[in-house]
Amino acid sequence: MSPNRASRREFLRTSTALAAALAWASPAAARTRLPSPAKLEKRKFGKTDMTVTVLGFGGAEIGYEKTSPETVSKLLNAALDAGLNVVDTAECYIDSESQIAEAIGQRRKDYYLFTKCGHAVEEAGRASDWSKEGVVKSIERSLKRLKTEAVDLLQLHSCSLDELKKGDCIEGLELAKKQGKTRYIGYSGDSKAARYAIESGRFDALQTSVNIVDQESIGLLLPLAKEKELGVIAKRPIANAVWRNDDEPASGYHLEYWKRLKELKYDFATGEKRKVEGPDGPAGVALRFTAMQPGVHVLIVGTSKPERWKQNAALLEAGPLQKELVDSIRARWKETAKDDWIGQT
């Protein structure tokens, strides 16, 4: 077995002593166990040695919303107790990496830890550095914040097609893998840049947008990623729940999806049906649609509300959507989507 394909258990064993020294205790607030939903489906993550739960945790919201340490600990520990085994974050999600380390750093062997690099957040703001040296610096900062010697997956965070073609940023990732700072490397991004990343053959995984209002990846990326046996993480699987907005969202991050949904006019996300809860409501249909796309292994959903993770897990318990509904969602997209409806990063 080559060093790069070493088992996770063997890989983590090398850092046991340091992990023990650096492990943070969880906050004093008592952990709250959520009732466990039906056993979460697990999927082999491409050609890696990881088997991931179909639902994973995304760390953006706890950083951007400045969620309290007590709430983060309650949320993450309850999710792990209920079976979730993927936690994804990024260095630019404010203090998300540090929050995760504080909340569940002592449970490092209970989950796969994914992070993203390339966007440094300093006092002066957010800046990107895609040089080999910049990527390595970014990785080292993330490991320090995460209180670990290594992560399971390290991803380039949406660098451009031009940067990918230069290759320096990929070399930085490959160096980190060679040095044992990550077991696998991936690209997080969309559209043509993501296609190039897959075609390059240099990545183990892809994180890309897949949802009812962002379907470019279903034809452009997923079939090729499946052919090349990449692990695939679906981001924004619930489409930012834009059906909840009566008026145009103030956040530009949600605005594009809101505009698309108004044109797509899905029956299940229109009028009073927007308020339907459960697996046949818009949230349930959105999650189940993404989860059943061929080639997708794990859906990353971010939340700062401890009860939300349990609710999302319950939505997936209903299983795949009926073929007729999936076909209608795909057909509506093909009829309506404009040329500039590309994957949203």
Chain segment 282-328, per-residue pLDDT in tens? 999 999 999 999 999 999 998 888 788 888 999 999 999 999 999 99
> Of 319, 340, 342, 320, which Cα lies nearest the Cα of 218?
342
Q: What is residue 225's predicted lDDT score, i.e. its pLDDT?
A: 98
Q: Does the pLDDT of residue 13 top 80, yes or no?
A: no
Q: What are phi and psi of 74, to 5 degrees?
A: -60, -45
Angle ∠(51,235,307) on CA atoms, nearest 5 = 80
Chain segment 215-258, per-residue pLDDT in tens? 999 999 999 999 999 999 999 999 999 999 999 998 777 999 99
Fold of 48-336: TIM Barrel (3.20.20)
Give the residue-averaged pLDDT of 327-341: 98
Q: Taking a C-beta distance cutoff of 8 angstroms, is the pair 137, 129 a contact? A: yes
Share of the chain above pLDDT 70, in %: 87
Angle ∠(340,121,27) on CA atoms, nearest 5 = 115
Give the residue-averaged pLDDT of 119-142: 80
Chain segment 55-108, per-residue pLDDT in tens? 999 998 888 889 999 999 999 999 999 899 999 999 988 899 999 999 999 999
Of 23-32, 239-248, 268-277, 314-323, least confident by mean pLDDT is 23-32
User: What residues have CB less than 8 Å from 96, skipping those under 6 apart?
Assistant: 59, 60, 62, 63, 89, 90
> Of 276, 285, 281, 287, which Cα lies nearest the Cα of 309?
287
Domain chopping of the chain, boundaries:
48-336
Query: What is the rounded distance in angstroms from the CA atom of residue 327 to the CA atom of residue 330?
Result: 5
